[in-house]
Amino acid sequence: MTSRFLISALFAGACAGLTAGLLQYLFVQPVLLHAELYESGTLVHFGADPVSAHPELPGFDAMRDGLTFVFTMLIYTGYALLMVAAMGLAEERGATIDGRWGILWGVAGFVAFHLAPGFTLAPEVPGVAAGDVGARQIWWFATVGAAAVAMWLLAFGQNWMMWGAAVILLLAPHVIGAPEPDTFAGPVPTEIAALYAARAFGVGLAAWVLLGVFAGYFWQREGAHQASSAKV
């Protein structure tokens, strides 16, 4: 069981992380680099030359981009460990675990780790106004934990009381509210911040769906392999 768990999580995390890193490099990183030019003062929002809307961004950097891929793969491997552990528990309850059902697991993971916290605390580019970092981290972890439990209750709850508790867990962090900045002024144009949030959500959804598919596929494959080996 331990080898099945580790192999499934490591392969799923590596595959999904590599894909997520590529998507971030193509779609998210250019927006981040553009925002950093405003944060540093190289570009200004008001009264700027129209050419600055499409500046020449820094090119490929082996160290920066290579570490981005490595850390993205490590992050998604961590996510995969959590997902595969949950899949193992679900399988004990009679749930079917395979690549196709993994799509739903991926969507649930995206809701818990991206959509639920991002509904109130949107992904932020450098240079935008933000609340206290420590308070935001506490709120983020609490929201993710509540959303993860809510997803489990919605999927495996047996009655309306459990489903109602899931709804409450999903709503409570947003009713309480996330830490807000003292001012909403910042050097980065709102258009860039909005584009970053949209692309972060899009890449996150794609990466989590792929993570669910890979985790379900490798979990099923390793289970079948171990079952066949036990018969020999």
| Number of domains making up the chain | 1
Q: Is residue 153 part of a domain?
A: no
Q: Is residue 150 part of a domain?
A: no
Q: Is residue 114 part of a domain?
A: yes
Q: Is residue 166 part of a domain?
A: no
Q: Tens of pLDDT along 5-14?
A: 999 999 999 9
Sequence-ordered alpha helix ranges (H) in 29-115: 29-40, 62-92, 99-110
Residue 187 phi/psi, 5° resolution?
-75, -15
> What is the extent of the structural domain holding 103?
2-118+188-231
Does the structure show a pLDDT above 90 at 153?
yes
Q: Is residue 176 part of a domain?
A: no
CA–CA distance from 188 to each of 42, 75, 129 (Å)?
A: 11, 27, 9
**Quick one: pLDDT at residue 205?**
97
Q: Is residue 108 part of a domain?
A: yes
Q: Is residue 42 part of a domain?
A: yes
Q: Tens of pLDDT along 183-232?
A: 666 778 888 889 999 999 999 999 999 999 999 999 999 888 777 766 65
Q: Is residue 101 part of a domain?
A: yes
CA–CA dist 79, 211 (Å, integer)? 8
204: left (phi over 0), alpha (psi -120 to 50) or beta: alpha
Does the structure show a pLDDT above 90 at 23?
yes
CA–CA dist 64, 95 (Å, integer)? 41
Radius of gyration, alpha carbons of the chain: 20
**Quick one: pLDDT at residue 11?**
95
Tell me the pLDDT of the chain averaged across its residues. 88
